[in-house]
Amino acid sequence: MPKVIVANYKMNGSKKLYATIVKKINKLKVMDTRIVLCPPFVYLDEFRLKNRSVSLGCQDITNEDNSKSTGQISPSMLLEFRVKYVIVGHSERRKLGEKDEQINEKVKICLNNGLLPIICVGEEKKSDKLDSVLLQVEQALKSTPKDTSPIIAYEPVWAIGTGKLPEVARINRMSKKIRDKIRDLGYQNCVVLYGGSVNKDNFKEIISSEIDGLLLGGVSLRIDEFIEIVKGIDNE
Ligand code: PEP
């Protein structure tokens, strides 16, 4: 299975920066890696992607089936901009008050409209019980069709943007627990990504673990370093 690398640009960037990123990404040659770029909504149209290995994603979606939702973005709007993937339940949105129930609504809205949710889960503190993460997985997937292959990004909140990294053994343990949980819930397959403080100096150690790919935050804005990571993984 190809490795998956997701770039979450968060609330960063400019037309100028994204023009540079898109130019370099369109020239990038990879054999066995799927890349997903998730810019802020207002820059989606800057991402005229001409690379079969690269897809467009975004960082959120509405949880409501109702056009009277000021400030929300609907699935049909995203599809019009060629978006395929949606990051759902990122810890930075959970911090703003997003609850498991809304995350589940967003996951269902994605799946009902042909969009693929990338569901973010992770414990707050290093000392937290890892089973809380499995509860997040279960809640996010409640009442979704079993013939889908959920994409889960395991992102320990304490590792996001902090430079702190879990031991590979912890990532492996969590990845196995998530896969077992998803099988127990009745899904045939899943994709498990890791995210949190990955950079060019540590990605090799992490990709050697039992995960299917990475969700990259800060480093995705440094396009040359991002490409170095993608090539390093593609050549593994
Ligand atoms: C993230 O925000 O999902 C993330 C992984 O960020 P960073 O790589 O900067 O830790």
Nearest CA to 110 among 69, 168, 160, 58? 58
CATH number of the domain within which 44 lies: 3.20.20.70
What's the number of domains the chain is made of? Answer: 1
pLDDT in tens, the chain (236 residues): 899 999 999 999 999 999 999 999 999 999 999 999 999 999 999 999 999 999 999 999 999 988 889 999 999 999 999 999 999 999 999 999 999 999 999 999 999 999 999 999 999 999 888 899 999 999 999 999 999 999 999 999 999 999 999 999 999 999 999 999 999 999 999 999 999 999 999 999 998 778 999 999 999 999 999 999 999 999 88
Q: What is the pLDDT of residue 174?
A: 95
* Structural contact between residues 121 and 154, judged by C-beta atoms closer than 8 angstroms: yes
Does the pTM exceed 0.85?
yes
Q: Counting Cβ atoms within 10 Å, is residue 27 exposed (0-12), middle (13-18) or buried (19+)?
A: exposed
To test the ligand 1 pocket, which listed residue (38, 164, 198, 201) has its Cβ within 8 A of the most ligand atoms? 198
To test the ligand 1 pocket, which listed residue (215, 219, 221, 229) has its Cβ within 8 A of the most ligand atoms? 215
Q: What is the pLDDT of residue 233?
A: 95
155 is catalytic: yes
Indicate the SS3 state at residue 214: strand
Domain span at residue 47 reads: 3-234
